[in-house]
Structure 1
């Protein structure tokens, strides 16, 4: 004869474990939704406001210099339908997690000789560089400032390198990890960097371009 209390005693731990599993699943689902949807929405809206504020300042004749808390340029990539604010620095919390594109300190300014190097998230937090791998040779990338529009043309892509490959940021960019990628002569270069593969930070994807024209406003 079965004793009800004994049966329920054996079942109760299984029931508690099932409840914990369901709760954990819901928490993970909410976390994923937060990372993939909510952070993107917040960052994209914030980036759009930053671009609008910067363009209003330009229209009013205000001078907006580089700084860690304000945009000083706008990156435009027609193929990706991207229009993002450029902020000084590449700190995660201060710049990239806000959906901004960060300017590597010490690299060239728009239109100047050397290497203008920029970084952006590929996934979550606005993911401005989500489809950076879709850029092809000949695609235009514009960097707009108060005084001019600097048009670069994509020249080559380094599909994968180590996060510490500092050679890609030099005035004449060239990969230290994969020396066959990069340049040997001085020029006016643009370097765009992001994480790869998507949803990881294991490696870096690098897209290079050369300055084609500068149109004064």
Structure 2
């Protein structure tokens, strides 16, 4: 028996019909174990799909499968689904923050709100989804943030 930590495995599937995207979601945002596999990573200390608060997900925009390459094409009303063994959680894109700093932790708070760009985010509790990726393309200088609100949960 190995004493090494168990390798991260996907536990959900993210689908964004507008982008023709369907990609595994794994716990954590480490490059080596998650993002460089071409998967989307779930930020530690953010909620799980369907829970009150904010579900935070990250993905590469360029290289390693680049699941979030076209994230900048999303706009209000676009559908984002997270499928787990228990349910399909459907979110609708509500707001986009085109550019913020990599350290803008407010975007991942339970009530997500930028601490860098005034006026972006929310002020009341809810069921939110935050998608983050690097911007502009081929750099890691800034972060693009897409926010969505939970609109339905369908059990399996």
Both structures adopt the same fold (TM-score exceeding 0.5):
yes
Partners of 2:127 and 2:9 lie apart in 1 by 25
Mapping 1:1-217, distance limit 5 Å:
69-217=8-156
CA contact (8 A) 1:68 1:95 kept: no
* Aligned-residue offset at 1:68: 5.5
In the TM superposition, residue 69 of structure 1 has moved relative to its aligned partner by 1.3
- What displacement does 1:71 show? 0.5
TM-score scaled to structure 2, two decimals?
0.95
More strand by share: 2
Deviations 1:80-136 (A, max 9, x none): 111100000000111111101000001010000000000000001100000000001
Shift of 1:179: 2.2
Give unmatched runs, 5+ long, in structure 1: 1-66
Root-mean-square deviation (CA, aligned residues, Å) is 0.9
Structure 2 residues not aligned, in runs of 5+? 1-5
SS at match of 1:159: strand
| Kept after mapping to 2: 8 A contact 1:84/1:101 | yes
**3-state DSSP of counterpart to 1:168:** helix
The normalised TM-score by structure 1 is: 0.69
Larger Rg: 1
Q: Give the C-alpha shift of residue 147 in structure 1.
A: 1.2
- Higher-RCO chain (CA-CA 8 Å, sequence separation at least 6): 2
Sort the Cα spacing of 1:186 and 1:68 in 2 relative to 1 into closer, same or farther, 3 A.
farther
Shift in alpha-carbon separation, 1:214–1:68, aligned structure 2, 3 A: farther
Deviations 1:15-46 (A, max 9, x none): xxxxxxxxxxxxxxxxxxxxxxxxxxxxxxxx
Hey, what's the Cα distance between the residues in 2 that align with 1:169 and 1:207? 11
* Separation of aligned partners in 1, 2:52 and 2:151: 12
1:98 and 1:125 in contact (8 A); partners too: yes
